[in-house]
Structures are given as C-alpha cells and as structure tokens.
Amino acid sequence: MDSRESKDADSIRRRRECEQCLRRFTTYERIDEIPHMVVKKDGRREKFDRHKVLSGLLRACEKRPVSSTQLEAIVDATESFLIEAPERERTTREIGELIMKELHTLDTVAYIRFASVYRDFKDVREFKEELEQLLHTRERPARGQKA
C-alpha cells in the first residue's frame, strides 16, 4: 500500500494489506550489514540483539508507568550508541550504564529493578548501598531548591 524511508534513512517502513483477510500491518526493513557486537563480561562477543534489550526493559518496567514508546526510545538510543562505535563493538558495561542512566530519569523503581539484574547484586548489603546512593542523589537537588 505504502513505502517510506525512516527519518534517519536506515530503514524502510511498508504498510501492507493481506489480500485474504484484508487486515493491514506494517513491516520495517533494515539493511543487513556487518553485525555490531557486544563484548560480554567474560570476553565473549555476541551480536547485538534489540529484542534482548527490549525484553530486559519490559521486565524492569513491568507494572510501571513507562510507555512502550519510551522503552523503544531507550532501545533506539542503545542501538545508536553501538552503531557509533568506530570498532563496531561496545562492552556490556557501557551499554548497561547507558540504559540505567535512561531508566534513572524515567522511573526509579524500573532503574533499581534493571540495576539489580545488571549489576548482579550478591547480597542485600549491595542492594541497600545502591538504594542509599539513589536516595542521596534525589535528596541533594531537593535541598538545593529550598535554599
């Protein structure tokens, strides 16, 4: 029915209609190039997977007031961050920190959920330290506003 390039010209959006059931749907086509790689903590390299990032975000944001559009924007920002690497690789640490920074501004509960999995807290003490640090950074601006 309709084909258009995306704003960044990195994909083609196609509106289609099934000739049998007459339902409409949208597909996105991207150019398949040399894959961008993620360097894991143990040194293994893995192809970047948008779906894997999105599923982690969905788990962290479950029952939270974060829209799918906001999650998609985080995944897009993460993918752009990876694409901009001159060596076509980024570490999981770099990617995880970027995602946590984005989540921190959106929803602190989702941030803590994501951080607990990403940072692999070994015990309650580590989790408590993260919460205290989060509370400390939230209290600091509030005190500055009163003065």
- For 30-79, write each residue's pLDDT tens digit: 766 778 899 998 999 999 999 999 999 999 999 999 999 999 999 999 99
Backbone angles phi, psi at 45, to 5 degrees: -115, 140
Query: Which pLDDT does position 111 carry in this prediction?
Result: 86
Task: Spell out the domain ranges in the chain.
Answer: 1-32, 35-118
Chain-wide mean pLDDT for the chain? 82
Query: Which pLDDT does position 142 carry in this prediction?
Result: 47
For residue 86, give Cα distances in angstroms to 4, 19, 21, 81, 89.
29, 45, 46, 11, 8
Query: Which pLDDT does position 113 carry in this prediction?
Result: 86
- The structure's pTM equals 0.64
Helix (H) and strand (E) counts in the chain: 5, 6
pLDDT surpassing 50 at residue 27 = yes
Q: How many CB atoms lie within 10 A of CB 7?
A: 7
